[in-house]
């Protein structure tokens, strides 16, 4: 062996002999031995520097080395046994092959008896019987296990949980069903009430329609008032609201033929009656233009139910475009002074339009018309005051009668002015 490095730790004496090793029971006694191995010396030095005693390191090295040597010898024995087994097995295989090749019938028959699956007592049959018996026992054990009602049943907790869940679900369904029955009952009650209200509304609508057919609707009441005024003046009034005109339309509810009661028709005035709310200016003008065209009229009057229904931007009893006017009457009693004022103003206007050669004092007619309109507005104001006041009723009625008389006077003057102009024309002729 080579000499060790300088500066190595001393493990014993300075002798270079191989030393003496004695194995005493579970102990080793090493005397005067020098080990020449670079790695071993380096490991001992490094561990000594780290504070580990050299004797401890050497002892562990010997223990580890002894285990490695012992494992190597065991592996060598195993390899030997494996080699011997393979050698003998090879010989056995060769012998078996030779016997099979020589046609050993007894051996072949023995093999056939042992492994023929069709014969009773064969290996396959025995295995099949054992397997069948094991499976049968296993099935019975499993069935017994699932039938027990305790913790040994693997489905016991699941079963209990599902039973609890279904009980809660049934209770919830019963509660929900009760709530649904209440809701359905409420809906049925509301539906019956709705049907009753609908039936009542239909009866009211039928009654109103029947009343309209009998002449009690707003349009019929307005026509009755116009018819009364026309009869007193020698004119003829026709209710045309449900009739189709020559042009195919239905606009124009009442047509007045001026002078037709005693002679030929001198002019035509059409009255368009509207009971609906919030009619726009454009709609009002569309209705009036349509009535003029469809009824071949010279003047058109829009009659609305109440002053609040006069279209925005328009005034009642004001002549527009020379052939249109709006008047507001009471919804329940439309046959009033306002309706007659509109009628007579329209008659005067068509009389002037009919015969342009009449030298009518247009300024005077305009003044009288404005005065009549002003007086009518005052009368309507007093009438409104009468509906809301319980005091001074007699004074209000006296003022109303006075204003009515004033309106009548102004209207009579208009008729006289037109009549005088006609008489002068006849005298000149």
Name the token pair of 28.
Answer: 């080793």
Q: How many of the other CB atoms lie within 10 Å of CB of 320?
A: 15
- Is the pLDDT higher at 326 or at 193? 326
* pLDDT tens column, 62-94: 888 777 777 666 666 666 666 766 776 676 667
Taking residues 12-36, report their average pLDDT: 72
The pLDDT value recorded for residue 189 is 79
Let me know: does 362 contact 417? Beta carbons within 8 Å.
no
Share of the chain above pLDDT 90, in %: 15
- Give bridge partners of residue 329 from the DSSP assignment: 305
The pLDDT value recorded for residue 332 is 86
Task: Choose from 151-160, 296-305, 384-393, 419-428 the range with maximum mean pLDDT.
Answer: 296-305
The DSSP result for 208-261, as a single string, is HHHHHHTT-SHHHHHHHHHHHHHHHHT-EEEE-TTSPPTTS----SEEEEETTT
Taking residues 363-367, report their average pLDDT: 63
Mean per-residue pLDDT over the chain, rounded:
76
The pLDDT value recorded for residue 270 is 95
Burial class (CB in 10 A: 0-12, 13-18, 19+), 122: middle
Neighbouring C-alpha atoms within 13 Å toward the C-beta of 186: 6
Rounded-to-integer distance, Cα 338 and Cα 377, Å: 9
- Report residue 393's pLDDT band, with 50, 70 and 90 as the boundaries: low
Cα 313 → chain centroid = 43
Share of the chain above pLDDT 70, in %: 67
* pLDDT tens column, 273-317: 998 777 889 999 999 999 999 998 999 999 999 888 999 888 888
Rounded-to-integer distance, Cα 59 and Cα 4, Å: 19
The pLDDT value recorded for residue 230 is 93
- Report residue 5's pLDDT band, with 50, 70 and 90 as the boundaries: very low
Residue 14, pLDDT above cutoff 60: no
The pLDDT value recorded for residue 4 is 41
- Is the pLDDT higher at 164 or at 324? 324
Rounded-to-integer distance, Cα 97 and Cα 101, Å: 6
The pLDDT value recorded for residue 275 is 86
The pLDDT value recorded for residue 85 is 66
Mode of pairing for the β-strands spanning 299-305 and 324-329: parallel
Residue 360, pLDDT above cutoff 60: no
- Report residue 378's pLDDT band, with 50, 70 and 90 as the boundaries: confident
Whole-angstrom CA distances from 226 to 12, 232, 254, 257, 267 are 153, 10, 8, 12, 16
* pLDDT tens column, 126-136: 777 777 777 78
Task: Choose from 233-237, 249-253, 415-419 the range with maximum mean pLDDT.
Answer: 233-237
- Minimal CA–CA distance to 62: which of 97, 94, 35? 35
- Report residue 3's pLDDT band, with 50, 70 and 90 as the boundaries: very low
Cα 384 → chain centroid = 51
Rounded-to-integer distance, Cα 314 and Cα 270, Å: 19
Rounded-to-integer distance, Cα 120 and Cα 135, Å: 20
The pLDDT value recorded for residue 385 is 66
């Amino acid at each position: 062996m080579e000499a060790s490095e300088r500066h190595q730790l001393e493990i014993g004496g300075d002798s270079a002999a191989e030393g003496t090793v004695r194995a005493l029971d579970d102990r080793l006694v090493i005397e005067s031995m020098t080990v020449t191995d670079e790695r071993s010396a380096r490991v001992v030095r490094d561990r000594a520097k780290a504070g580990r005693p050299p004797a401890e390191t050497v002892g562990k090295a010997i223990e580890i080395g002894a285990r490695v040597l012992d494992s190597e010898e065991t592996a060598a024995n195993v390899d030997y046994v494996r080699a011997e087994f393979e050698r003998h097995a090879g010989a056995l295989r060769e012998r078996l092959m030779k016997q099979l090749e020589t046609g050993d019938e007894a051996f072949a028959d023995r093999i056939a008896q042992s492994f023929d699956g069709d014969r009773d007592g064969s290996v396959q049959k025995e295995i099949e019987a054992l397997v069948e018996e094991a499976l049968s026992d296993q099935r019975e054990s499993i069935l017994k296990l699932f039938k027990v009602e305790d913790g040994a049943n693997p489905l016991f907790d699941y079963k209990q949980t599902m039973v609890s869940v279904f009980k809660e679900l049934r209770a919830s369904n019963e509660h929900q069903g009760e709530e649904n029955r209440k809701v359905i009952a409420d809906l049925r009650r509301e539906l019956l009430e709705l049907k009753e209200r609908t039936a009542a509304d239909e009866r009211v609508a039928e009654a109103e329609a029947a009343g309209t057919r009998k002449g009690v609707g707003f349009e019929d009441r307005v026509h009755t008032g116009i018819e009364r005024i026309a009869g007193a003046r020698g004119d003829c009034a026709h209710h045309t609201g449900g009739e189709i005109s020559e042009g195919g339309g239905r606009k124009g509810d009442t047509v007045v033929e001026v002078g037709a009661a005693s002679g030929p028709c001198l002019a035509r005035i059409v009255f368009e009656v509207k009971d609906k709310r919030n009619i726009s200016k454009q709609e009002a003008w569309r209705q009036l233009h349509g009535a003029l065209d469809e009824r071949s009229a010279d003047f058109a009057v829009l009659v609305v139910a109440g002053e609040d229904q006069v279209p925005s931007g328009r005034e009642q009893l004001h002549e527009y475009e020379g052939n249109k006017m709006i008047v507001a009457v009471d919804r329940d009693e439309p046959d009033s002074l306002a309706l007659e004022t509109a009628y007579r103003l329209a008659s005067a206007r068509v009389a002037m339009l009919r015969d342009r050669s009449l030298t009518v004092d247009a300024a005077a007619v305009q003044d009288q018309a404005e005065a009549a309109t002003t007086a009518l507005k005052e009368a309507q104001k007093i009438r409104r005051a009468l509906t809301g006041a319980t005091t001074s009723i007699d004074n209000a009625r006296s003022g109303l009668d006075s204003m009515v008389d004033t309106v009548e006077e102004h209207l009579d003057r208009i008729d006289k002015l037109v009549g005088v102009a006609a008489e002068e024309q006849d005298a000149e002729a």
